[in-house]
Amino acid sequence: MNEFTRAHFPASIRDRHPRIGLVLGSGLGGFVSRIKIEETVAFADLEGLPVSTVPGHEGRFVFGSIGGIEIVIAQGRVHLYEGWSAREVAAGIRAMAALGIEKLILTNAAGIINEGFRPGQWMQIADHLNFTGQSPLTGGPHFIDQTQVYSRSLRQLFHDQADELGIPLPAGVYAWMPGPQYETPAEIRMLRTLGADAVGMSTVPEAIQARALGIEVAGFSCLTNFGAGMTPDALSHEEVIETGQQAAETLARLLEASFLND
């Protein structure tokens, strides 16, 4: 079920054994300036990896370390709305799995559904709702358990660390919508009724794929804007990117401290 092996990576990468994978969402690419970059590989240079066309998504793996632990960062990702299948969208996760990652941290930019949340805050993903009807596991493996997609022990670790650093980190349910358009106010009300706290267009296929490969998953949503209809304003991609850039530093502090203390 994993078409990737170490042999897909350039020779300079094949001896690397990152323990943690991190996927950076819209506007969060600046996170890599916080780590010591040792090596990079463009997605375009790895056979079988789809390449994104969306502004704000760079499209490369960055190798380095954080809190003294080897990490591989996917800077940029592809989305269903670009025309890729859920299986293609999750290809980067299978590539990172081929390098042996044990833990995967997924990040995204998301709209607020829960009226108690504020733009600029991070939400830790406790669970998800899949509104796309798509799965990266179509064709197999079948019947993978989803009781705990987002690791309880990682959630506890990040929750405790955020508390210690004074970083607000509410937990909530992330709804995966297909996009590419933002939601209507009626859709935001529907999602709230159905139990969502935040909404976005990514992350869920990667989380499902990682669990199927036995990788421990954590997810963070950068709450960039109120959902449609929650304020009189229209939504803009620029606003999403700008808020993400400001919040990237907060997440870097949290992850650094968490892995130092782990």
Distance, CA of 61 to CA of 67 (rounded, Å):
19
Residue 111 engages ligand HPA in binding (rule: CB under 6 A): yes
Instruction: Please give the Cα distance from 89 to 6 (Å, whole number).
Output: 20
Query: First and final CA of the chain: distance in angstroms?
Result: 31
Q: Tell me how far apart the alpha carbons of residues 222 and 109 are, in angstroms, rounded to a whole number.
A: 5
Based on the residue annotation, tell me whether 26 is a catalytic residue of this protein.
yes
Beta bridge partners of 73: 22, 62
CB of 239 to ligand HPA, least distance (A): 8
d(CA 28, CA 34): 11
**Cβ-count burial 175-201 (b if 16+ within 10 Å, e if not):** bbbebeebbeeebbbebbeeebbbbbb
183 lines the binding site for ligand HPA (CB under 6 A): yes
Contact between 28 and ligand HPA by CB under 6 A: the answer reads: no
Stretch that binds ligand HPA, among 43-51, 104-112, 130-138, 153-161 (CB under 6 A): 104-112
Is residue 175 involved in binding ligand HPA (CB under 6 A)? no
235 binds ligand HPA (CB under 6 A): yes
The residue from 81, 171, 239, 257 that is catalytic is 81
Angle subtended by helix axes 91-98 and 204-212, to nearest 10: 40
> Is the bond preceding 168 in cis, omega lying within 30 degrees of 0?
no
Q: For the chain, give me the number of helices (H) and strands (E)?
A: 6, 9
Applying the rule CB under 6 A, the residues between 190 and 219 that interact with ligand HPA are: 199-201
The set of residues, in sequence order, having a beta carbon less than 8 Å from that of 100 and lying 6+ positions away, is 17, 18, 19
- Which of 176, 182, 220, 259 is the binder for ligand HPA (CB under 6 A)? 182
- Which of the ranges 64-72, 79-87, 107-115, 141-149 carries the binding residues for ligand HPA, by CB under 6 A? 107-115
By CB under 6 A, is residue 247 in contact with ligand HPA?
no
For position 56 contacting ligand HPA by CB under 6 A, the verdict is no
Stretch that binds ligand HPA, among 30-38, 89-97, 130-138, 224-232 (CB under 6 A): 224-232
Q: Least Å distance between CB 33 and ligand HPA?
A: 22
Given the complex with ligand HPA, which of 27 and 92 has the nearer CB atom? 27
**Residue 21 contacts ligand HPA per CB under 6 A:** no
| Shorter beta-carbon distance to ligand HPA: residue 127 or 187 | 187
Task: Give me the catalytic one of 65, 237, 239, 257.
Answer: 237
Query: Under a CB-based contact definition with an 8 Å cutoff, are residues 157 and 256 in contact?
Result: no
Where does this chain bind ligand HPA (CB under 6 A)?
Answer: 109-111, 182-183, 199-201, 224-225, 227, 235, 240
